[in-house]
Amino acid sequence: MNYRTLLFIPGNNPGMLQSSDILGADGIIIDLEDAVALTEKDAARILVREYLLTFKPEGNYFIRINPLDSPYFYDDLEAIKDLDITGLVLPKASVESMAALEDYLDKNDLDFEVIALIENAMGLETALDIVRASKRIVGLFLGAEDLTLDLGAKRTKESKEIEYARSKIIAAAKAAGIQALDTPFTDTDDLEGLKIDTRNAKDLGMTGKTVISPRHVDIINQVFTPTQEEIDYALRVVEGVKGAKEKGLGAFSLEGKMIDAPIIKRALNVLKTSGDYKEEYDELLE
Amino acid sequence: MNYLSSTDLRTVKVLEQAEFPSKVNARNKVVEDTAKLIKELGIKDNAVLSFHHHLRNGDYVLNTIMKEVQRQGIKGITLVASSLFPIHAEMIPLLEDGTIENIVTSYISGDLGRAISYGKLKGKIIMQSHGGRARSILNGEIEIDVAFIASPSADAHGNISGVNGHNTCGTLGYAIADSLKAKKVVAVTDALVEYPNYPADITEDYVDYVLVIDCIGRKEGIVSGTTRVTRDPVGLKIAKDTLKVMEATGLLKEGFSYQSGAGGISLAVTAFLKEYMIENNIKGSFASGGITGHLTQMLEEGLFSALFDVQCFDLESIESLKRNPNHIRMSASQYGNPEVSAVVDKLDFVILGATEIDVNFNVNVTSGADGVLMGGSGGHQDTAAGSKVSIIVSKLFSSRIPVIKDRVDVITTPGTTVDVLVTERGICVNPLRTDLIEAFKEAKLEIVDIKELKEYSESIMGKAKPIEKTDRIIGLSQYRDGSIIDYIYEVKR
């Protein structure tokens, strides 16, 4: 699953939890970390459990647990280990915290997907090592607010200060064949600014974006949704590959252009995002 | 004196020179003493007095006049007020001492509604629609003795304007029928202006007195500074789905007409509609009803040809009414009177709210979850009946109470005129509208049975406890044509 949008829902807000499945996001991140005050941690865990067990919402639900260096890391994991969720978001990801998480998941035989939140300089510079520390990782997620604090950089709407971080995350994610998830756009009212920021992230190579306002979901989904033209081209590529394979051809050209592995991969990514992907396409890259 | 029927014109009396009329000496209509005026009007026990609600929760006029009526010991008044707001809670002692015996209104909120629900009104309350009120006044079903018309400005001869003065409220659409039919009409103003007061909503030929008082109202209660589109994500989801419904009907095309309320979700529908119209290069014919700045902007941008305005909701709409000739005043009768040609009959879409809706699509906007009067039809019945597609927008739960019931507490608008319900968890279509069910299927718009949605909501939140009522019927929910569609019972304390 390619998540165009992952929407944060505070784990201590019953009203928002109850409506989380209808807001149009590809995935939900229920937050037990920053959105929940220290005095509310226990209550939020109980609420999130009750919500997921009672409502059994459909869709992809992640839970952002508290970081390893907090007193809540293992309490969070214990509270959610039996829940039917898609995965976990690991904040302040480092090689050590990822290893600790993997260890816990292995011991409890849990097959949750994991998204690593990269939000400090060390995490950024060791992103690929963090990825390698997990069998379950499906995405790297850039947390620009904390990262710029750690870097001593001024956070701006233009986001020039995070271009390097974005590219670094994208390169590590692509090298590992997982998703590169962009930092949320924090001005909830500036929908034009959101469009620009999302396009910039997409153009650099981000494959999706995290979201803190439900009002942002549609716009981001739209930016990350391939156009009909892109879908049609991807389908022609896939059909071409199938035809070439049947004829035993190693390479072929389409509309005057040689079609090689990266182009096929890109076409398959487009179809995954648009929802036109079929299982039989798995064989095309073999 | 029908001289045409005289067979012999010699029998007709001709005036002598001495009997010839003198020049007109215009009667002074201006009065500054409320008590003296009430006496001069000869208001007696059981009189019928009317008021409009354009000053909404900022209105001082109704309280001022009725307290004077009370002081003079007049009893048994039938109060015909187009709407009543929390500010009118000052009338509760007048229910208790019998000054006010019956109430006829289209909307009531606040402690006055609560007091009536708990049985404090000695007579009856009749809840009408805006169109139904105009009908009942114009056809004589209700005979008004004196109409007290709160007037943001009036000249000495009684030309009343809602756009001039300190306490402006815009159009005076709800007061027109009263001014035409009441036996006596009093303009009550705090801004006596030079003659001629122009543009006049009600002209001098219908006005008998101009009562000047210190202050007719509290500005901040009269109009909102701005009306706001909801930011609530669930409300926005409902609004987006409503636009999909409108699109799927096939009626959302060049020349369509539209009305929505001023609630947050309805305004969000208008905001999404505006984007849609711009993107698809569609121009509407008219929008109607209570008018907000959102609609006046659309008029300015050429997205609608005209606005029919029965009530201005915000300052922007008052300004627009003043300067834009395509922003047109309309009376409540022109708006929704079922006995005449009315604007609602030309509506393609209306977007309406609901406190409750039942499995037969009957809607309650009259009483709250506790059974207490807290609203009323306003234009709900009129627009639902007249429009091609009436759409109810509502969250599935209101303060944890499911909005869909087996039977609503009070039927305000009959389900036979309600077409679609849009909630955050599904769109329901009235089975009577097979044409819409077909159109939605074609448009691949998923719909859900209203009974299934009710069961789902009850499985999540449980079923609300029934409201406890006594056997006493305190009033009637009247349909716009005069028929009665429900009883209103006293609520047990």
Shortest CA distance from A212: residue in chain B:
B233
Asked whether residue A84 carries a pLDDT value surpassing 80, the answer given is yes
Q: Over the stretch B136-188, which tens digit does the pLDDT of each residue have? A: 999 999 999 999 999 999 999 999 999 999 999 999 999 999 999 999 999 99
Residues on B contacting A at a C-beta cutoff of 8 Å:
231, 233-234, 236-237, 240, 424-425, 460
pLDDT band at A106 (very low <50, low <70, confident <90, very high): very high
Shortest CA distance from A216: residue in chain B:
B233
Q: Over the stretch B49-59, which tens digit does the pLDDT of each residue have? A: 999 999 999 99
Query: Which of the residue ranges A184-198, B4-18, B328-342, B343-357 would you say has the lowest mean pLDDT?
Result: B4-18
Q: Please answer yes or no on whether A215 and B231 come within 8 Å at the CB atom.
A: yes
The structural domains of chain A, with segments of one domain joined by +, span 5-224, 228-285
Pairing of strands A257-259, A252-254: antiparallel
Q: How far is B491 from chain A (nearest CA, A)?
A: 30
What pLDDT sits at residue B231? 86
Looking at residue B125, its amino acid is I
Return the DSSP state at A166: H
Lookup: tokens for B81: 């007020």
Mean pLDDT of A175-188: 96
Q: Over the stretch B403-418, which tens digit does the pLDDT of each residue have? A: 999 999 999 999 999 9
Name A107's Cβ contacts closer than 8 Å, sequence gap at least 6. Answer: none
Mean pLDDT of B292-299: 96
Question: What are the chain A neighbours of B425 within 8 Å (beta carbons)?
Answer: 22
- Please identify among residues 214-233 of chain A the ones whose CB lies closer than 8 Å to any CB of chain B: 214-215, 218
CB nearest B424 (choices: A16, A19, A218): A19
Q: Please answer yes or no on whether B233 and A23 come within 8 Å at the CB atom.
A: yes
CB nearest B237 (choices: A22, A54, A55): A22
Residue A22 forms contact with B (CB below 8 Å)? yes
Integer Rg of chain A from CA: 20
pLDDT band at B435 (very low <50, low <70, confident <90, very high): very high
Shortest CA distance from A24: residue in chain B:
B237
Q: How far is A18 from chain B (nearest CA, A)?
A: 10
Name B241's Cβ contacts closer than 8 Å, sequence gap at least 6. Answer: B422, B424, B427
With a threshold of 0.95, tell me whether the complex ipTM lies above it.
no
What pLDDT sits at residue B2? 79
Question: What are the chain B neighbours of A54 within 8 Å (beta carbons)?
Answer: 460
Run of H or E including B429: strand B426-429
> Taking the C-alpha atoms of B218, B332, B242 and B287 in order, what is their torsion angle to the nearest 10 degrees?
-90
Lookup: tokens for B93: 């002692």
Q: Over the stretch B311-335, which tens digit does the pLDDT of each residue have? A: 999 999 999 999 999 999 999 999 9
Question: What are the chain A neighbours of B460 within 8 Å (beta carbons)?
Answer: 54-55
What pLDDT sits at residue B7? 82
CB nearest A215 (choices: B233, B424, B425): B233
Question: What are the chain A neighbours of B427 within 8 Å (beta carbons)?
Answer: none
Looking at residue B478, its amino acid is Q
In chain B, the domains with their CATH numbers are 30-222 (3.40.1080.10), 233-466 (3.40.1080.10)
Q: Please answer yes or no on whether B233 and A214 come within 8 Å at the CB atom.
A: yes
Looking at residue B368, its amino acid is G
Q: Over the stretch A233-271, which tens digit does the pLDDT of each residue have? A: 999 999 888 888 888 777 788 888 888 888 888 888 888
Asked whether residue A195 carries a pLDDT value surpassing 70, the answer given is yes
- Can you give the length of chain B in residues? 493
Asked whether residue B428 carries a pLDDT value surpassing 90, the answer given is yes
Run of H or E including A170: helix A163-176
Shortest CA distance from B395: residue in chain A:
A19
What pLDDT sits at residue A259? 85
Looking at residue B71, its amino acid is R
Count the neighbouring beta carbons within 10 Å of the beta carbon of residue A161. 15
Asked whether residue B225 carries a pLDDT value surpassing 70, the answer given is no
Output the pTM of the full model: 0.90
Question: What are the chain A neighbours of B236 within 8 Å (beta carbons)?
Answer: 214-215
Asked whether residue B3 carries a pLDDT value surpassing 80, the answer given is yes
Q: Over the stretch B75-84, which tens digit does the pLDDT of each residue have? A: 999 999 999 9
Question: What are the chain B neighbours of A22 within 8 Å (beta carbons)?
Answer: 234, 237, 424-425
Q: Please answer yes or no on whether B233 and A55 come within 8 Å at the CB atom.
A: no
Question: What are the chain A neighbours of B240 within 8 Å (beta carbons)?
Answer: 218
Asked whether residue B4 carries a pLDDT value surpassing 90, the answer given is no
CB nearest A22 (choices: B231, B425, B460): B425
Q: How far is B425 from chain A (nearest CA, A)?
A: 7
Question: What are the chain A neighbours of B271 within 8 Å (beta carbons)?
Answer: none
Q: Over the stretch A145-171, which tens digit does the pLDDT of each residue have? A: 999 999 999 999 999 999 999 999 999
Count the neighbouring beta carbons within 10 Å of the beta carbon of residue B358. 20
Sign of the dihedral defined by the CA atoms of residues A21, A23, A25, A31, in that order = negative
pLDDT band at A280 (very low <50, low <70, confident <90, very high): confident
What pLDDT sits at residue B230? 86
Top CATH class of A5-224 equals: alpha beta
What pLDDT sits at residue B450? 98
pLDDT band at B298 (very low <50, low <70, confident <90, very high): very high
Q: Over the stretch B75-133, which tens digit does the pLDDT of each residue have? A: 999 999 999 999 999 999 999 999 999 999 999 999 999 999 999 999 999 999 999 99
Interface test with A, best of B236, B240, B243, B423 (most A CBs within 10 A): B236
Q: Please answer yes or no on whether B233 and A19 come within 8 Å at the CB atom.
A: yes
What pLDDT sits at residue B68? 98
DSSP per-residue string spanning A5-43: EEEEEETT-HHHHHHGGGS--SEEEEESSTTS-GGGHHH
Question: What are the chain A neighbours of B424 within 8 Å (beta carbons)?
Answer: 19, 22
Q: Please, what is the average pLDDT of chain B? A: 96
End-to-end CA, chain A: 20
Name A41's Cβ contacts closer than 8 Å, sequence gap at least 6. Answer: A32, A66, A72, A75
What pLDDT sits at residue B264? 86
Mean pLDDT of B53-75: 97
User: B425, B460 in Cβ contact below 8 A?
Assistant: no
CA distance B251 to A263: 44
Asked whether residue A107 carries a pLDDT value surpassing 90, the answer given is yes
Q: Over the stretch B456-484, which tens digit does the pLDDT of each residue have? A: 999 988 988 899 999 999 999 999 999 99
What pLDDT sits at residue A286? 66
The size of the A-B interface in CB pairs under 8 A is 20
Share of chain B above pLDDT 90, in %: 90
Q: How far is B316 from chain A (nearest CA, A)?
A: 22
Residue closest to B52 by CA, chosen among B141, B239, B177, B140: B177
Shortest CA distance from A215: residue in chain B:
B233
